[in-house]
A and B are shown apart, each in its own frame.
Chain A
Amino acid sequence: MTALVTIEGLTKRFPKQAEPALRSVSTQIRSGHIVGLVGPDGSGKTTFLRLIAGLLRPDEGGIDVGGFDPVANAKEVRARIAYMPQRFGLYEDLSVEENLNLYADLRGLVGSARKATFERLLDFTGLAPFTGRLAGALSGGMKQKLGLACALVVTPELLLLDEPSVGVDPISRRELWRMVSRLTDEGITVVWATAYLDEAEKCETVLVLSEGDLIFDGRPTDLAARVAGRVFLIEGIEGDRRYVLNRARQHEAVMDGTIQASHVRLLLNENARALSLASIGAGDEARLKPVAPRFEDAFIDLIGGGFRAESPFAGGSQRSHDIAIAVEARGLTRMFGSFTAASEISFDVRRGEVFGLIGPNGAGKSTTFKMLSGLLKPTSGEARIAGVDLRTAASEARARLGYMAQKFSLYGDLSTMQNLRFFARVYGLTGARQRTMIARMIESFALTDKLDENSGQLPLGFKQRLSLACAVMHEPDVLFLDEPTSGVDPRTRREFWAHINAMVTNGVTVIVTTHFLDEAEYCDRAALIYRGQMIALGTPAELKAQAASSTMPNPTFEDAFIALVEKNEAETSP
C-alpha cells in the first residue's frame, strides 16, 4: 500500500513555550488505514492534525499529503481532506440540516448528488428523524455523528478526527468506531486522535506521542508484544491491596503497578527475576497470574515506567479522621427546569473508602458530587458529611471536606505560593501550622521550582498537583475529587493515585468522579451513573460479575458499563 501522507522531521514550536509542541516527527500514513494518534493532553496530537490540515505552518520539516504541501497548496489539500476538530465544529444555533447544507455549499456539493449524499449520511448516522433540530439541542453522541456527517459531505481521501470520543458515552463511542471502520472499507484513510489508550488497540497502526516526541509508530500488537510475559495480577492478597501496591511500586523488579479491583496489576522489568510476593507483604495465599498486556502497560513501558516513589502522604497524618460513615446520600434529586440531572441517588460511603462515581460526561456525576459537597442544593433528598447535615450546617460540614474541582479553579494570576497561602488562610490555617502545611505540600507535590510562576501558566500536570495540594492542605476527613486525572498523562495519573491511596490508608475518605471507566478499578466501590440515574452500585469485581456472560467471561469495565446500561434500559422500558 502507498503512503497517503509523508511526514519528514516535522517540528512545531509555539511562542512563549520553551519546549516544541512536536519534535522532529517522521512517519508515513498509509491509504485505507485507521491510524490511532495516541497520547495524553498536551502531547501534540491536535498540533499534528492541524499541521496535516494546513492550519498551522511547520517550523521545520515537511508534510506531503497526496503530493501536495498543506501550506503552499492549501486549496488542493483542503479539497482532499476532512477535519473534525474537538467539539465537532458545529454551529449550535443552526439545525442539523442547515449545518449539513453549509458544509455541502462550502465543498461545492450540489443538486442531486447532494440529495443522495444527505440521504446516505443521515441514514448512516441515524440522524434522519432530527434534521430540523438545532445542533445545540442534540446529545453528545448525536453531535459527534453530525460532526462526522458534516466532515463527510464530500468523500475525502483523508479524514482527521480530533478526539471524537471525548465527552461521549461509551455506547455512542462504540457506534462511532463501527461507523468509521466502515469508511475505511470505502478507501478513506482515517487519523483518529485519542487520549483513551484502549481505543488505540483497535487501530491498524498507532502513532504514540509523548511530550511532542513520536515514541512509537507501528502495529498495536507489536507494541503490546514489548511487554508480553511481563504483566501479572497478584491475586488472593491478604490484607490491604493498597499497601501491597505501595510496596510493589518501589520494588526494583517492578516498572509499574495499579490497583485492579481486588488485585494488583504489575508490569515487571524486562530482565526482572522472579518477584517474591512475601517481600511486598501480599500474604501466603497470594499468587502471580500472568495476564494479557494492555496498551497502557506498553505505553508506560515506552515512557520508562510509572510513578515509583513513595507518596509523601504515606506514614500517617496528624488527624485521626475518626468518623464512622463519611458520606450519606439519601434520595438526592436535582432538577434544572424540567430536566432531571440526578434522580433519587442514595448510598453510604464508609471511612477510609475510595468511592467512585462513574459515568460518561453529562450523566449527572458532577451534579451528584456538587450536592454531596454542599455546592448545589438538592431539589429533594439530603446529604450528610461525617454525620453533619449539609442543609443545616454547611460550613461545619465543609470544614471537614476538601474539594478539587473538575476545571482548574485556582487563581491563574496568582503564583503557586500565593495560591497555597490563600487557600491555607481560607481553611483557617495560621502561624506555624500554616507554614508547616505549606512546606509539606510544596515538598509532597514537587512544587519547589514553580513557586513564583503564575499558576495559570503551569503545565497541566502541575496545575492538577497544585489543585490537589490546595484541597488537602487542611487535612480534610473527606476528599472530593472531580475528574482529577482527566487529560493528565498516565504517569501523573499514577502519581495521583499513589497520593490518594496513601491518604486513604491514613483514614481519609475519597469520593472521585471519572469518565475513564477503567479507573473504577481503583475504587473500593463504585456507583455507575447514567442519564441521572444510579444504575448499579458495588465493588468493581461485583459490577463486572454482573455483566459477565458466556460470550464475555472477562468483561472490561467498559463492557460492564455498557451491559449494565442495556440491562437497565431493558428493565425500565416496558
Chain B
Amino acid sequence: MSFSRFAAIMRKETRQAIRDPSTLMIAGLLPIMLIFLFGYAVSFDPRQFSVGVVVEQPTGETESFVASLRNTRYFEIETAPVRKDFETLMAAGELDAIIILPQDFSAIALRGEAAPIQILVDGGDPNTAGLVGSYIELLVINWLEQEWLDRGQPPLAPLVSIEPRVWFNAEISSRNYLVPGSVAIILTIIGALLTALVVAREWERGTMEALLATPVGPLELLLGKLVPYFVLGLGSFMLSVFVAVAFFGVPFRGSFLALSLAAALFMLCSLGQGLLISTLTRNQLVAAQVAVMLAFLPAFYFSNFVFELDSMPLALQLFSYAIPARFLVSTLQTQFLAGNVWSVLLPDLAALAIFAIVIFAVCALFTRTRLD
C-alpha cells in the first residue's frame, strides 16, 4: 500500500466524479427527489372516507347519529332510504363503507341493547377496510354514550377508561417515521449507484488494463475509488437530513454525531456493495440494473421502513438480519423521533460495522490485478 498511488487514484476519481454530470445528479438531485417522493406520495394517514348511510326510518336519533358522523373530519356522508344504490356505488369503488340504520334503530338503541347497526365495508383494500370499520365502531360507541348522557340515563359503565397518549410522534403523522426511514433507502440507492459504475466504466473504456499494468495494488485501487464517493455520499446524507427537518418538519431529537456515524458506516456498506457489483459485472448497464435490484429492493422490503418485519414469516424476519438497511432504519427512526436510545444505537452501530468489514473483505478478495 503506497499512499501516493492511493492518492493518485483518489484524485483521478474525484476529478472524474466532478466532471461527470450523472454523478452529481445521483448525489445531489436523486436524494431530494426521493425524499419528496417518500414524504408526499407515501402516507398511511387516514384520508377522508366516503360512507353511505342507509336510513330506513328517519327519526331524531338517526338524524343525531348522522350528524355525529358528519362532525368528524374522516367521513364524507351520503344518505339514502334504501341500500340498493349504495351497493352499486361500493362495487364501483366510490364508497368505502355502507352503514345501515334499520327501522327499529331508535327503539333498540335507546333500550341499551347491542347496537343493531350493519356496517358493510369494501374489503378490497384491507388496510382501509380495517380503519373504516374501527372508526365507525368507535363513533357508534361515542354517540351512544353521548345519547345516554343527554337523556340523563346512566351510561353502560366502562370498567376501564382508556385515555391514549401518543409518544414520539404525537401527531401520529406517518410522514414522521417514513421520512427518516427513507433516508436509509436513499443512501442505499445512492451508495450502490455511485460506485456500481466506476469499476465497470474502467473495464468498458479499456482503461482498467492500462491501470493494472502499472504497479498499483488492489487496496490502493479500492480505497482510492471509495473515498471520493464516500464524501459525496455523506453529502447526500446531510442533504436528506436537512430536507427532512427543514422542509418536512420531522423532529430531530437525537445526536447528529451519532446518526452521522451510523450513516457513515452504512455508506461504506452501500458503496462497497456497489463496488462489488461493478467489479463482478464489468459492464455499466448490467451493474446499474443489478445495483437497483440487489441493493434497493431488499432494503425497501426488509428494513422495517414500510413493511413491518414483525408481521412477516419467521424465515423472512431472519433474512432481514442480512440487510444492512434494517440496522440503519431503526437508528434513524429513534434518532429522529425518540433521541439517543443507546440500546438501539449501539447494536446497530456494531452490526453496521460488521457489515462494512465483511463487504470490504469480499470486495478486496474480488479485486484482482489480473484480467482472469
Contacts and interface: CB of A to CB of B under 8 A. Distances in A.
Interface string A382-412: 0000000000000000000000000000000
Contacts of A278: none
A89 B8 contact: no
Contacts of A86: 206
| Residue from B9, B207, B210 whose CB has the most chain A CB atoms within 10 Å | B210
Nearest to B4: A105
Interface stretch (B15-23, B92-100, B251-259): B15-23
Contacts of B4: 105, 108, 110
A57 B216 CA distance: 18
Contacts of B210: 83-85, 88-90, 147, 150-151
A53 B370 CA distance: 9
Given A93-B19, A105-B4, A105-B7, A57 B213 contact: no
Contacts of B19: 93
Nearest to A91: B207
Contact of B8 (A78, A90, A93, A102): A102
A78 B370 contact: no
B288 to A, nearest CB: 18
Contacts of A88: 206, 210
A319 interface: no
A463 interface: no
A79 B2 CA distance: 14
A54 B372 CA distance: 10
Interface string B213-243: 1111000000000000000000000000000
A98 interface: yes
B370 A90 contact: no
A191 to B, nearest CB: 13
Contacts of A74: 369-370
A102 B13 CA distance: 10
A311 B16 CA distance: 53
A89 B207 contact: yes
B16 A53 contact: no
B209 interface: yes
A55 B20 CA distance: 29
Nearest to A108: B4
B154 to A, nearest CB: 81
A252 interface: no
A103 interface: yes
B12 A102 contact: yes
B215 A81 contact: no
B214 A103 contact: yes
Interface string A66-100: 00000100110011011111111111111000100
B5 interface: yes
A81 B215 CA distance: 10
Contacts of A90: 207, 210
Given A78-B214, A103-B214, A91 B16 contact: yes
B207 A83 contact: no
Contact of B206 (A79, A87, A103, A160): A87
A74 B11 CA distance: 25
B15 A94 contact: yes
Nearest to A47: B371
Given A75-B215, A79-B215, A83-B209, A55 B8 contact: no
Interface in B114-150: none
B205 interface: yes
A55 B16 contact: no
A85 B215 contact: no
A294 interface: no
A426 interface: no
B370 A106 contact: no
A56 interface: yes
B371 A106 contact: no
B212 A55 contact: yes
A53 B208 CA distance: 13
B20 A82 contact: no
Contacts of B205: 87, 91-92
B213 A53 contact: yes
B12 A56 contact: no
Contacts of B20: 93
A90 B211 CA distance: 9
Given A56-B371, A56-B372, A85 B8 contact: no
A115 interface: no
A85 B12 contact: no
Interface residues of A, number: 38
A174 interface: no
A425 interface: no
Interface in B352-372: 369-372
A89 B212 CA distance: 10
A106 B214 contact: yes
Contacts of B209: 50, 55, 83, 85, 89
Contacts of A83: 209-210, 213
A162 to B, nearest CB: 9
Contact of B370 (A57, A85, A92, A102): A57
Nearest to A78: B215
A559 B213 CA distance: 35
A79 B215 CA distance: 6
A182 interface: no
A567 interface: no
B371 A50 contact: yes
A107 B214 contact: yes
Contact of A81 (B9, B15, B213): B213
Interface in A175-205: none
Given A74-B369, A91-B207, A106 B15 contact: no
A91 B15 CA distance: 11
A87 B205 CA distance: 8
A89 B370 contact: no
Interface in B1-44: 2, 4-5, 7-9, 11-12, 15-16, 19-20
A93 B205 CA distance: 11
Contacts of B2: 108
B206 A56 contact: no
Contacts of A78: 213-215
A71 B370 contact: yes
Interface centre among A50, A83, A89, A103 (most CB of B within 10 A): A89
B15 A89 contact: no
A160 B5 CA distance: 22
A53 B19 CA distance: 31
A126 to B, nearest CB: 21
B212 A106 contact: no
A82 B19 CA distance: 28
A98 B15 contact: yes
Given A55-B370, A89-B210, A102-B8, A107 B215 contact: yes
B313 to A, nearest CB: 38
A103 B209 CA distance: 13
B367 to A, nearest CB: 14
Interface in A151-184: 151, 160
Interface of B: 2, 4-5, 7-9, 11-12, 15-16, 19-20, 205-207, 209-216, 369-372
Given A50-B209, A101-B8, 8 more contacts: A50-B371, A57-B372, A83-B210, A89-B210, A90-B210, A91-B207, A98-B15, A107-B215
12 contacts: A57-B370, A74-B369, A74-B370, A85-B213, A87-B205, A87-B206, A89-B211, A90-B207, A91-B205, A106-B8, A110-B4, A160-B213
Return the 6 tightest CB-CB contacts between A and B, nearest first.
A89-B210, A105-B8, A83-B213, A85-B209, A87-B206, A106-B214
